[in-house]
Amino acid sequence: MEAGEKPMLRNCVVFSAVAALMIFFCRADAQQPVSSQSASTEEITVDAHAAATPFPHTWEEMFGSGRANLVMRAAYQHDLRMVQGITKFRYVRFHGILDDENGVYSQNAQGQPVYNWSYVDQIYDTLLANGIRPFVEISFMPKLLAAHLDYQSFWYHPIVSPPASYAKWDALITAFARHLVERYGINEVSQWYFEVWNEPNIGFWTGKPAQATYFKLYDNTARALKAVSPRLRVGGPATAQAAWVGDMIAHAVRDHVPLDFVSSHAYGDDSAIDVFHDHRYVAPHQMVCAAIEKVHEEILHSARPDTPLIWSEFNASYANHQDITDSIYMGPWLADTISKCASMTKMMSYWTFSDVFEEQGVIKTPFYGGFGLVAEDGIPKPSFDAFMLLHELGNERLAAPVNEAIVTRRADGTLVIAAWNLVEPGVQGSDKTVVFNFKGIGNDAWATIRRVDAEHGDVLAAWKKMGSPKYPTPQQVHALRQAAEVGPPQDVPIHDQRLTIVVPPMGLAVMEIR
Annotated catalytic residue within 60, 298, 313, 404: 313
Question: Do residues 460 and 331 lie in contact, with contact meaning Cβ atoms separated by under 8 Å?
Answer: no
- Cα 277 to its chain centre, rounded Å, is 23
CB count, 10 Å around CB of 319?
Answer: 23
Concerning whether 358 is annotated as a catalytic residue, the answer is no
Distance CA 424, CA 141 (A): 40
Q: Amino acid identity of 139?
A: S
CA distances from 396 to 210, 412, 415, 459 (A): 42, 11, 10, 32
Look at residues 247, 248, 216 and name the one whose alpha carbon lies nearest to residue 235: 248
**Angstrom distances, CA of residue 351 to CA of 65, 342, 373:** 7, 15, 9
For residue 386, the number of C-alpha atoms closer than 13 Å in the C-beta half-sphere is: 32
Listing DSSP states for 72-98 in one string gives: GSHHHHHHHHHHHHHH---EEEEE-TT
- Beta strand 234-239 with 498-503 is unpaired
| DSSP state, residue 53 | E
Closest CA to 513 of 99, 34, 49: 49
Active site residue 199: yes
Say if residues 349 and 94 touch (Cβ distance below 8 Å): no
Strand order in the sheet with 396-398: 53-54, 396-398, 405-409, 415-421, 507-513, 446-452, 490-493
Query: How crowded is residue 431: how many other Cβ atoms within 10 Å of its Cβ?
Result: 14
Which residue of the set 61, 137, 199, 298 is catalytic?
199
The candidate with the shortest Cα–Cα distance to 180, out of 236, 138, 130, is 138
Q: Using an 8 Å Cβ cutoff, are 185 and 191 in contact?
A: no
Quick check: 232 and 225 in contact, CB under 8 A?
A: yes
Separation in Å, CA 335 to CA 290, 404, 414 = 15, 8, 19
| CA 76 to centroid of chain Cα atoms | 17
* Amino acid identity, position 347: M
Do 317 and 331 form a contact (C-beta atoms < 8 A)?
Answer: no
Using CB atoms within 10 A of its CB, is residue 446 exposed (0-12), middle (13-18) or buried (19+)?
middle
- Active centre residues (catalytic): 199, 313
